[in-house]
Amino acid sequence: MMAVENTRHPLRPASEVMKLERIGAFRLTSLSFLRILMRHMMRENWTITCTAFELDDEGHGHAIYSVQTPTHDFSFLAISTKISDEERSDRVISQKWDVTFSLSEGTITDEKLNRMKENLPKQEAGRGDAADLVWSRANKSNRIFDYVIDCLIAKEQPDPKILNEVGYLLRTTAVYGNGKFGIAPYEKMKDNHPFNGPFQAQMFAVYMLRHFSFDLVEHIAKRRDPEAVSLDPEVKRFIGTGNATGLGMAPFLISHPRLIHQWIYVREKAIARVKDIKPTQDDLMLLIHWLDRVANYFDESRLIDRQIFVKPEKLAEQSRFLKERVLEYLEVGTFAGIPTNDVWEGLSETAAETVSIEMQELLHTVLLEIYADHVIDLEQCMNVEETYQIVPRMTIQELKNLINYQYQWAFQYDFTDPDEKYYFWYRSEEKEEPRLGVRGEEPGDDREMPMNIAEQVQGLYEILQHAPPEEMVASFILRHPRYKGIIQRIQSLDGYEYGEIQANLLSKDMMPLHLLRCKLSFFGAERFNPKSNRWVRITLFQGAPLVEEIGEPFPDNWVFPHLPTIEGDKHESSTK
């Protein structure tokens, strides 16, 4: 439930935050899951070593990396397979991938390795065991992978501008945990486990895939020419891991409302905290630095524009606009001519009136970077007990009062209008993955998933109008069992105000990518590159410390990296 945060600035109401367009404008912050993971690894000085690297001249085979933490040992296994270009696809229904990989507890014995070689490349058709924490798969970037190898053979570092067109060498299509394929459930990683916390094991597996991608291209280059150079560390840092995400991620936000509340509540709590801080001149100069850095990052962006999100060049322009407002405050104490003693709130109000929602949330990201030390304690608050229960003794009047308080947003839609029920969500037969269909035009509405929370609330409320106010919920459910699910949801979310996305997810003008981007922002994704309104490519860990830098002093401000500058003499010095 929402606790009271001792801040002067109240948390933004759910009626503002939980609009689909706003949650779809969230970006990574210092509290995103991969940032939490990196700080954890650096603090504890995890040791990662390659214990097996059995790849042929073309990079096909397997590699095993040993991971030692203060309390647990793990193994990361990558299996590289030869596939044709025609077999390479981001779709979940694919059956072959360039690389499949896993994260497991303990060491991988010869017996387990043989079993994993048989099962891991099959993914959905394979089976793991309770020691496996993560299974996943990835494909090469067609444009960049071979280009980087050719550069290394030519004894040159790849051109950062060309790297920036993609941002990664390998791209995952799904990262599975929590019991999928017979692997360990999430409960195994609770309490003092190194991967306790949302998606920590998955983020680490993606981080290790990034490291393997470096080893893979260098290995292939050296096999083709022993004099080939290795990637310069600055170039390696600039390369992340890619990911392609489709509609399969969207239902998670509906089926885990308490967890979504907690993530967004923690984010809003952090924003309210930093707005309470009275900035020094050094803080303001640091903000100017970050706004410049963000502007340069988006200026350098080479992402494909599909008119879905705000264009990168527009974000760069708006970042520099806010920089001018900060400079104005430093000079005369005003924002757009309006004096203020509440600097961060004044800047936020200026942003709300002058720049896009996306830039408004990007400003919050930057403020959380400036004051990361003031909020990172909140990284311990990302978990929540997900129990959803009926409150049988609640009266009908109490239930109606709760709906009127927390679900007033649900009554703005007219579900007799076909445009408000344009889409339906269902699970495909071929892979049991969520899909989006057009009602009346595509098959599958007989298997519709309950994503229509607003419509369910309206239907329940209409029936409640005819029930005695003093009647208890238990009695009502016995008479109307079809409403048990939505009643349980409403009662279980009492006080969890950020748990519901305040939108009609069936509407013709609904943008599914906003759902995907919301969840991806909590992972720590950047470089949102939509391929349609239903799937997007992103990059993780771009700019992050390398495996060999774990435990060394490395500032926790590596996001939005600039293009690396490689000196000419580094090309020769980077040979192994």
Q: What is the DSSP string of 158-193?
A: PPHHHHTTT-EEEEEEEEE-TTGGG---GGGG-TT-
Q: Assess if residue 522 is contained within a domain.
A: no
Q: Assess if residue 512 is contained within a domain.
A: no
Closest CA to 127 of 138, 118, 135, 119: 119
Domain identity same for 214 and 109 = yes
Q: Assess if residue 419 is contained within a domain.
A: no
Tell me which DSSP letter residue 448 carries. B
Q: Assess if residue 513 is contained within a domain.
A: no
Cα separation, 487 vs 391, in Å, equals 9
Cα separation, 355 vs 329, in Å, equals 18
Cα separation, 518 vs 505, in Å, equals 14
Q: Assess if residue 495 is contained within a domain.
A: no
Report pLDDT for 570.
Answer: 46
- Give the full edge-to-edge strand order of the sheet including 61-68: 47-55, 61-68, 73-80, 99-105, 132-140, 168-176, 240-245, 536-540, 526-530
Cβ of 525: how many Cβ atoms within 10 Å? 27
Domain identity same for 167 and 84 = yes
Report pLDDT for 207.
Answer: 98
> Which of 348, 383, 418 is the last residue in one of the domains?
383
Cα separation, 254 vs 50, in Å, equals 40
Domain identity same for 160 and 193 = yes
Radius of gyration of the chain (CA): 25
Which domain does 323 fall in, by range? Answer: 14-26+255-383
Cα separation, 313 vs 305, in Å, equals 10
Tell me which DSSP letter residue 130 carries. T
Domain identity same for 145 and 61 = yes
Quick one: CA torsion of 498, 502, 506, 509, rounded to 10 degrees?
Answer: -130
Cα separation, 393 vs 443, in Å, equals 41
Q: Are the C-beta atoms of residues 517 and 24 closer than 8 Å to each other?
A: yes
Domain identity same for 235 and 104 = yes
Amino acid at 146: D
> Which of 383, 399, 423 is the last residue in one of the domains?
383
SS3 content of the chain, % helix, strand, coil (to 5): 45, 15, 40
Q: Assess if residue 492 is contained within a domain.
A: no
Cα separation, 52 vs 65, in Å, equals 7
> Which of 319, 348, 383 is the last residue in one of the domains?
383
- Residue length, the chain? 576
Q: Are the C-beta atoms of residues 492 and 508 closer than 8 Å to each other?
A: no
Q: Which residue has the tokens 């579900």?
A: 415
Cα separation, 158 vs 353, in Å, equals 42
Report pLDDT for 234.
Answer: 97
Q: Assess if residue 391 is contained within a domain.
A: no
Domain identity same for 20 and 76 = no
Cα separation, 215 vs 541, in Å, equals 16
Domain identity same for 231 and 282 = no
Per-residue tens of pLDDT for the chain, all 576 residues: 545 556 788 999 999 999 999 999 999 999 999 999 999 999 999 999 999 999 999 999 999 999 999 999 999 999 999 998 887 876 655 789 999 999 999 999 999 999 999 999 999 899 999 999 999 999 999 889 999 999 999 999 999 999 999 999 999 988 999 888 899 998 888 888 999 999 999 999 999 999 999 999 999 999 999 999 999 999 999 999 999 998 888 999 999 999 999 999 999 999 999 999 999 999 999 999 999 999 999 999 877 656 788 999 999 999 999 999 999 999 999 998 999 989 999 999 999 999 999 999 999 999 999 999 999 999 999 999 899 999 999 999 999 999 999 999 999 999 999 999 999 999 876 656 788 999 999 988 888 999 999 999 999 999 999 999 999 999 999 999 999 999 999 999 999 999 999 999 999 999 999 999 999 999 999 999 988 888 899 999 999 999 999 999 888 999 999 999 876 544 443 433
Domain identity same for 80 and 202 = yes
Domain identity same for 67 and 95 = yes
Closest CA to 195 of 22, 377, 430, 382: 382
Q: Assess if residue 277 is contained within a domain.
A: yes
Domain identity same for 181 and 301 = no
Domain identity same for 87 and 157 = yes
Cα separation, 21 vs 518, in Å, equals 10
Cβ contacts of 446 within 8 Å, gap of 6 or more: none
Strands (E), 288-443: 334-335, 338-339, 423-427, 434-438
Helix (H, G, I), strand (E, B) or coil at 511: coil
Domain identity same for 222 and 147 = yes
Report pLDDT for 190.
Answer: 84
Cα separation, 419 vs 401, in Å, equals 29
Q: What are phi and psi of 294, to 5 degrees?
A: -65, -45
Using a 10 angstrom Cβ sphere, with 0-12 exposed, 13-18 middle and 19 or more buried, the burial of residue 329 is: buried
Q: What are phi and psi of 63, to 5 degrees?
A: -140, 145
Amino acid at 50: C
Bridge partners (DSSP) listed for residue 427:
434
Among positive and negative, which fits the CA dihedral 366, 372, 378, 383?
Answer: positive
Domain count, the chain: 2
- CA distances to 26, 434, 437, 513, 516 from 534, rounded to whole Å, are 17, 11, 11, 6, 9
Give the global pTM. Answer: 0.94
Cα separation, 494 vs 516, in Å, equals 25
